[in-house]
Amino acid sequence: MSQGIDVTNESIYYGQHKAVENVNVHINPRSVTALIGPSGCGKSTFLRSLNRMHEVIAGAYVEGEVRIDGEDIYAPGIDPVDVRGHVGMVFQRPNPFPTMSIADNVLAGIRLNNKKMKKSEADEVVERSLRGANLWEEVKDRLDRPGSSLSGGQQQRLCIARATAVQPDVLLMDEPCSALDPISTLAIEDLMTELKSTYTIVIVTHNMQQAARVSQMTGFFNIDGAGQPGHLVEFADTETIFSNPSEKATEDYVSGRFG
Amino acid sequence: MSESVVVEKEVDSPGPNIFRTGVRHLPRWAPWAVGAASALASLGIFRGSAGTSNIVGMTSVALLIYVAAMMILSRNYEGRRNSTDRLATTLIGGSFLLAVVPLLSLLYTVLVSGFDVMSLSFLNHTTEGMTLEGAIPGAGHAIVGTLEVTFSTALIAIPLGIFTAIYLVEYNGGWLAKVITFLVDIMTGIPSIVAGLFAAAMLPVLLGNPGYRSGFMGAVALVVLMTPLVVRNTEEMLRLVSNELREAAYALGVTKSRTIVKVVLRTALPGIVSGCVIATARIIGESAPLLITAGSTDYYNFSLFNDRVMTLPVFVYNQYVAGNFPLAWGGALVLVLLVLILNLIAKLIAHWFAPKGQ
Amino acid sequence: MDSPEKTEGVLEQKKQAPGDTKGPRKAVRGRGDAAFAGVAKGAGIIIIVLLGAVTFFLVSQSYPAFIASNETIQSEVGFTRGMSFWQFAGAALFGTVLSALIALCVATPFAIGIALFISHYAPRRFAGALGYVIDLLAAIPSVVFGLWGMHTLEPVIRPIFAWISDVLTPVMEWWVTSVPGMGYMADHFEWWPLTPDLVHFVPPARNILMGGLVLAIMILPIITSLCREVFLQTPKLQEEAALGLGATRWEMIRMTVLPIGRSGIVSAAMLGLGRALGETMALLMVLSAGLSVNFSLMSPGQHSTIASQIALNWPEAQAGLERQFLIGLGLLLFILTFVVNFAARRVMARYSEFSGANA
């Protein structure tokens, strides 16, 4: 993964309603890019368009191009299932599969393509992924316990392990810490800093301090009024956005005047 | 998607075409083409011969060929995962179609065969003297009997059920409510013939007449079957009414009974009425309990408490046993029409009279 | 929601409530109130009395049959053809359970498929209409099902049975002659299933397999609608987790919908079983009754169910031991369906706790 993500003139529609308008952005590979903005401004929708998850809702479609490492993921003939295998996602609330054990959760994505994995291979993948998510030490003795038996923060790290097990190129995180306590949040933020050396991470967050802590580049989304489409107002390196933004709306938002 | 698991992640080298992994999809017209081909192949096997058994065979073979051909085609062209997904879609969609077929066949047969025998005489006459020359038998006595028995059942079961539901939902009943709920649960599971046995066991003993048969006896059995349906549905509708509504009334100083009647019931009424109509539609088709309580007869009987009463379901059964299929279908048509109309009325009531904004 | 005018009218009828001190929102009590509450409570008590009466009469009017000696039964109860109460009941019970199990095995896979179709495959707009179509099946009276089953379905099924019989009978005959011990079991034990009679078809199709098929169509709607509710309650978050990993639709269903809904499916199937056990008319009209305990699935005149035996024999039964015999059979059936339904509800209760959904 060397070229990053290139979004050109992307607009996202839900049926007749235009949710996001004309986004142009380049996301650097192997870095953390944060997307901030008030509620309902389309940042989650945009994030989901990067792995075609918005198509889960009937009638959703996209105009424009999204190129991951040079490949347009919306080209005709490209299967969303395929895209999602290369672009992992971590959700707002931890969602390990309740009927599967911790080990099975980690292996869930891999097993889709690789039904007959040798036990040694599987164990290796489990350990590698859980170590990568900073969870191995805490759960290595109870890998066959159900995924839901962990605490919130541990569950979210399990979801990260599950997402990274298939070794995607990109990791999308949709407000991953919003349901967690501050200690777990910090743990996940540390994790993100480690993971960025391997994965390209795009994170949507409501927490501006979090964006300032973890990201190298930040994008500010805004919405002009109710019913209007959201759009990307400004995109620059994190320090600039928070100390010296060029748009007034950005400055108003990061200084807390609205949002 | 690569098949190997542990891949060395190469840093800073141009990735392979990660999305062009040879996963293709069959064109949209492929299933139709394969379907047509399977049908032709099956026709060829059976050489177009007619007859029910051959049609059945032809259809089954065509289906099997279709599924097999699609699977092979899909597996080779689309890959394992997509072919499994397609197989699942085919089987799941197919199971729905397979469920619709009996329903359509049944409705069609009832309509066509019943219509053949339908006439004013059918609705008017009875089966009295039907073996005589020139007699035109009918189901009039069965229709009247069904209406008698159903009406008296509903008359008892609906108030009983509604008030029980009110007690369970609106009043804090403690252990009594728990017992009642448990018993209602049991009642929903009573087999219909057992309900009939109960009435057939109890009433002759109570009345001291071992040979007692009547429409009322049938109604008693049906009350046991209908009441739990009314209780359950009414409970559900009452619970749907938001508590804020009740509290607002209490805060204004309205008595509890007034609140229940004027506020809660008023709001839940369309759902409750609709549920009662559906419950009526359910028991109107019950035959087993009526077989052994109201029995059967060839005459009109307008008395609910004396002597046997013929009802539509029992009429259909009797004519079937006697081999008079046209009459059986006629009775079946009337019965099915009654049931469908009642269901339609229930749906309309729930739809039109639903409180606005809920 | 009630309009302001309505609550004002209600306000005018506010009664004084002396002694009502339990907080501002407690209901005000009045004289009419106590009467109303009494009526409601009375209705509940009538339910208790009613069910008590059911139990009492079923038991009291049947126990002579339970305690009567075999000789008494044989002399006084005409239709038992020499069997004792428990022999007769056992044979009828066998038929009841066998037909219900056949129905369950046939209906459940279809029910799951149809429920999945409505919940996850069909376009949202049609889901309600499709559910309604399936529910229509539930509204059709069972006597009409029996009529249709014998008139329309039977001629269609007959060639299929004949084909199965032609293909499998030689297989079973080979089995009985070649596999050691099988022939001995088949010859000496009537109840041994693995015989050629298992698959041998004797027309017309008035046999228990046919009965099971008609029964399956009848219990299909109830299992389907329960499964549909269960599948619709699968948390969206789990489904998105599976899709996010790159699962196809079927893989997502296999990873989340089905495992999470497992106990719901079991409970739905058990409720369907309870329904099938209590069904009378369809089997009364399909089966040519018999009292054998064997697995001759496609032979007529072999089996019958408790419900159909009661319905067949009651019209001619004399007051006295004959009726008591039949009531005793009914009591057994009642207990059986009660146990099955009770177990089904326990499974359902545990499922809703487990998945956190409000049942």
DSSP single-letter state for residue B136: -
Could you list the pLDDT tens digit for every one of the 359 residues in chain C? 444 444 444 444 444 333 334 444 555 566 778 888 889 989 999 999 999 999 998 998 888 888 877 777 777 777 777 788 888 888 999 999 999 999 999 999 999 999 999 999 988 888 888 888 888 888 899 999 999 999 989 888 888 888 888 888 888 888 888 888 777 777 777 777 777 878 888 888 888 999 999 999 999 999 999 999 999 999 999 999 999 998 999 999 999 999 999 989 999 999 999 999 999 998 999 988 888 888 888 888 888 899 999 998 888 888 788 888 899 999 999 999 999 988 888 887 876 655 544 32
Has residue B357 got a pLDDT over 80? no
- A-chain CB neighbours of C262 within 8 Å are 99
Residue B133 pLDDT:
74
What is the C-alpha to C-alpha distance for residues C309 and A87, in angstroms, rounded to an integer?
A: 64
Contact (CB<8Å) C244/A163: yes
Q: Shortest Cα distance from A254 to chain B (angstroms)?
A: 34
Q: Does C235 touch chain A (CB under 8 A)?
A: yes
Q: What contacts B76, CB < 8 A, 6 or more positions away?
A: none
pLDDT over threshold 90, residue B219: yes
Pull the structure tokens for residue A238: 């994190």
Residue of A2, A6, A83, A127 best to disrupt the B interface, most CBs of B under 10 A: A2
Contact residues, chain A, for C255 at CB < 8 Å? 97, 108
pLDDT at C297: 86
**B316-345 mean pLDDT:** 91
Q: What is the pLDDT of residue C7?
A: 42
Q: Which residues contact C118 (CB under 8 A, 6 or more apart)?
A: B96, C127, C130, C131, C134, C224, C228
pLDDT at B41 over 90: no
B104 touches chain C (CB under 8 A): no
Proportion of chain A in helix, strand, coil states, percent, rounded to 5:
40, 25, 35
Q: What is the tens place of the pLDDT at every residue in B17-33?
A: 456 555 677 777 888 88
Q: Name chain A contacts of B17, Cβ cutoff 8 Å.
A: 71
Supply the pLDDT for residue B261: 86
B21 at interface of A, judged by CB pairs closer than 8 A: yes
- Quick one: pLDDT at residue B250? 86
- Check residue C270 and give its pLDDT: 92
User: Taking residues B202-221, what's their average pLDDT?
Assistant: 87
Listed by number, the residues of chain A in 71-110 with a beta carbon closer than 8 Å to a beta carbon of chain C are 81-86, 88-89, 91, 93, 95-100, 108-109
Per-residue pLDDT band for B232 (boundaries 50, 70, 90) equals very high
Which residues, 6+ apart, have CB-to-CB distance to B157 below 8 Å?
A: B222, B223, B226, B227, B230, B279
B25: which chain A residues are within 8 Å (Cβ-Cβ)?
A: 77, 79
Q: Name the amino acid, one letter, at C277.
A: L
Whether the Cβ atoms of residue C222 and residue C271 lie closer than 8 Å to each other: yes
Please report the residues numbered 84 through 143 in chain C whose beta carbons come closer than 8 angstroms to any beta carbon of chain A: 123-124
Would you call B187 an interface residue with chain C, using a CB distance cutoff of 8 Å?
yes
Residue B7 has pLDDT above 50, yes or no: no
d(CA B52, CA B68): 24
Going across the sheet that includes A200-204, the strands are: A71-72, A60-68, A5-14, A17-27, A230-237, A217-223, A32-36, A200-204, A170-174, A87-90
In sequence order, the 6+-apart residues with CB closer than 8 A to the CB of C165 are C199, C200, C201, C298
Mutate to test the interface with C, among A95, A104, A171, A174 (most CBs of C within 10 A): A95
Question: What pTM, to 2 d.p., does this model score?
Answer: 0.85
> Which residues of chain B does C15 touch, with a Cβ-Cβ cutoff of 8 Å?
253, 255
Strand, helix or coil for residue B212: coil
CA dist., res. C111 & res. C226, Å (int): 9
Instruction: Report the pLDDT value the prediction gives residue A112, as an integer from 0 to 100.
Output: 87
Look at residue B358 in the predicted model and tell me its pLDDT: 46
**Among B residues 121-180, those touching chain C with beta carbons less than 8 Å apart:** 159-164, 166-168, 170-171, 173, 176-177, 179-180
Structure tokens at A82: 């395929």
| Contact (CB<8Å) A91/C241 | yes
Q: Enumerate neighbours of B (3 or more CB pairs within 8 A).
A: A, C
Lowest average pLDDT, out of B68-72, B233-237, C7-11, C67-71, goes to: C7-11
Encoded amino acid at B343, one letter: N
Contact at CB, B193 and C338, closer than 8 angstroms:
no
Does any CB of chain A come closer than 8 Å to the CB of residue C244? yes
Round to the nearest angstrom and report the end-to-end CA distance of chain A: 35
CB pairs under 8 A between A and C: 64
Q: Which of B88, B160, B250 sits opposite C27 (nearest CB)?
A: B250
pLDDT (average), residues B186-208 = 90
Of the candidates A5, A9, A19, the one whose C-alpha atom is nearest the C-alpha of residue A226 is A19
Nearest-by-Cβ selection for C246 from A81, A96, A99: A81
Q: Please give the residue of chain A at the shortest CA–CA distance from C251.
A: A112
Contacts of C239 (CB under 8 A, 6+ apart): C252, C256, C257
Binding partners of A (≥3 Cβ pairs within 8 A):
B, C
| pLDDT, tens digit (0-9, with 9 covering 90-100), for A87-131 | 999 999 999 999 899 999 999 988 888 777 888 988 999 999 998
**Averaged pLDDT for residues B21-47:** 78
- Beta A217-223 vs A32-36: how paired, if at all? parallel
Nearest CA to CA, how far is C38 from chain B (Å)?
Answer: 9
Q: Which of A167, A170, A200 is the best substitution to test chain B (most B C-beta atoms within 10 A)?
A: A167
A63, β-bridge pairs: A11
Report yes or no: B163 and C39 within 8 Å, Cβ to Cβ. Answer: yes
CA distance C16 to B351: 39
Burial track C7-24 (b if 16+ CB lie within 10 A, e otherwise): beebeeeeeeeeeeeeee
Question: What is the pLDDT at residue A225?
Answer: 82
Q: Along chain A (259 residues), what's the average pLDDT of each consecutive run of 10 residues? A: 86 91 92 90 92 88 90 86 90 91 91 84 90 88 87 91 91 91 89 90 91 92 87 91 89 82
